[in-house]
Amino acid sequence: MANSSGVVRAGTEPIGRTGSFTVTPEAKLEWPGGSLLLSLFVGSRRMGRSYGFEHDGHLYQAPVGYYANRGVFDLAPGYERDKKPDFTRPIGLECLSCHATRTELEPGQLNRYRAIVHGIGCERCHGDASEHDGLIRPSKLAPRLRDSVCEQCHLAGSVRLERAGKRMRDFRPGQDVGQYIEVFVGATPAGVRVNGHSEALAASRCKQASGDRLWCGTCHDPHRITDFNAVCQTCHSKPHRTGDCTGCHMPKARANDGGHAVFTDHSIGGKRDAGSALRSYFGRKPLPRDLGLAYVELATRSRDATLIEKAWPLLRGAPQRGDPPLLNALAAILAADGRREQAAAALRMSIEADPVQPDALRRLSALVESPAEARSLRSKAERILPARLPSR
């Protein structure tokens, strides 16, 4: 995990090509008509690696990534369906909150960083010693708080979202991650998923039968190599046979949700509930706002408009003030329905609550009557996130 992000150094990265792209030994990405220097990596290369590049101080995702099991470059996850290469996707906090120790953005910016502390450092699991009386020992915490330490990064669910008014970046070890995020499980195809280990383990027979005794740390001590078979036998003291328990009971499989990497199935002896209704991973009744936003997210992924019909009544009834994700979702539904003025009003409230939203600014600019206001909104968006990079 210490290598889960970092600065690209020439001569140390794999080289190769995919389609019209070539990655050179200098870590330059070249294609007919252009080139750029890869400057940041995300992913240790155990499974794969994504890259970022810098333009005018802003960090963007590169459209190609490295896949370890095939030993090749290919289009990065999420870019497979692009007709033309897209160089405008920001590397915002969403990647780095799980792949780096700490980040500090320039004020008013989305992908311009003052500082990035790469890799997963001690403080992400043990807390900052200066904020507590010494370091937190995860295994000594109450089970919900202990599990939260790993869940801050290893729990993605079918949909993961920040709760109203909460920011995951304020989470600290020792707290309950469920105060910050809602995570929905269900409504996904069965099988192994990228970053689905927490939900998979929760579905395992071992976890369901032994409850709080079993957690990630039972098998993974981040500081030493584990003998997995010995761990199984702490509970299964008279196994039906000897040999590699995990080879048969925790098979590896290609993730079914994109990418090409192979992951270990953590749902030992259990069944993943494929296709069932959305429910909270934390076992609570989800708030209408959170459930509505989850439907919107699934609707976008699956292009299934009936999910929007489910989302609308949930979202419409929720408190709107100071909740940009909710307001943006409402605005999108209203705009699609031709209710431009109401959509614009929702976007204005959203931008008032959080002005650093280039997408919302651009969408509002397409809805307002006054050409001068539209121009001003677009230029505000442009200052946060240049929409088109100059050709190089």
Residues 111-130 touching ligand HEC, rule: CB under 6 A, are: 120-122, 124-126
Of the candidate residues 81, 83, 84, 223, the single one contacting ligand HEC (CB under 6 A) = 223
Closest of 28, 10, 41, 221 to residue 118, by C-alpha: 41
Q: How far is the CB of 325 from ligand HEC (least distance, A)?
A: 15
Of the candidate residues 138, 178, 325, 358, the single one contacting ligand HEC (CB under 6 A) = 138
**How big is the site for ligand HEC, counted in residues (CB under 6 A)?**
76
Of the candidate residues 150, 164, 346, 381, the single one contacting ligand HEC (CB under 6 A) = 150
- Cα torsion at 22, 23, 29, 32 (round to 10°)? -10
- Told to check if 234 binds ligand HEC by CB under 6 A, we report yes
For ligand HEC, the closer of residues 76 and 351 by Cβ is 76
C-alpha dist (Å) from residue 246 to 209, 212, 222, 256, 263: 18, 21, 19, 20, 13
C-alpha dist (Å) from residue 193 to 80, 96, 263: 18, 20, 7
Of the candidate residues 38, 98, 293, 344, the single one contacting ligand HEC (CB under 6 A) = 98
Closest of 358, 334, 390 to residue 90, by C-alpha: 358
Q: Which pair of tokens denotes residue 69?
A: 């099991």
Q: How far is the CB of 21 from ligand HEC (least distance, A)?
A: 17
User: Could you tell me which residues come within 8 angstroms of residue 247 by beta carbon, excluding any fewer than 6 positions away?
Assistant: none
- Told to check if 216 binds ligand HEC by CB under 6 A, we report yes
Q: How far is the CB of 272 from ligand HEC (least distance, A)?
A: 14
Span 156-195, contacts to ligand HEC by CB under 6 A:
156, 194-195
Q: How far is the CB of 266 from ligand HEC (least distance, A)?
A: 6
Task: Give the number of other CB atoms < 10 A from CB of residue 131.
Answer: 11
- Told to check if 82 binds ligand HEC by CB under 6 A, we report no
Span 2-21, contacts to ligand HEC by CB under 6 A:
4
- Told to check if 213 binds ligand HEC by CB under 6 A, we report yes
Distance of alpha carbon 50 from alpha carbon 41, whole angstroms: 6
Of the candidate residues 19, 269, 275, 313, the single one contacting ligand HEC (CB under 6 A) = 269
Span 326-345, contacts to ligand HEC by CB under 6 A:
none
Distance of alpha carbon 64 from alpha carbon 50, whole angstroms: 7
Of the candidate residues 27, 53, 87, 99, the single one contacting ligand HEC (CB under 6 A) = 99
- Told to check if 241 binds ligand HEC by CB under 6 A, we report yes
Would you call 233 exposed, middle or buried from its count of C-beta atoms within 10 A (0-12, 13-18, 19+)?
Answer: middle
For ligand HEC, the closer of residues 95 and 384 by Cβ is 95
Closest of 144, 122, 146 to residue 134, by C-alpha: 122
User: Could you tell me which residues come within 8 angstroms of residue 315 by beta carbon, excluding any fewer than 6 positions away?
Assistant: 288, 289, 292, 293, 296, 326, 329, 330, 333
Q: How far is the CB of 142 from ligand HEC (least distance, A)?
A: 12
Of the candidate residues 132, 169, 205, 284, the single one contacting ligand HEC (CB under 6 A) = 205
Of the candidate residues 8, 15, 117, 231, the single one contacting ligand HEC (CB under 6 A) = 231
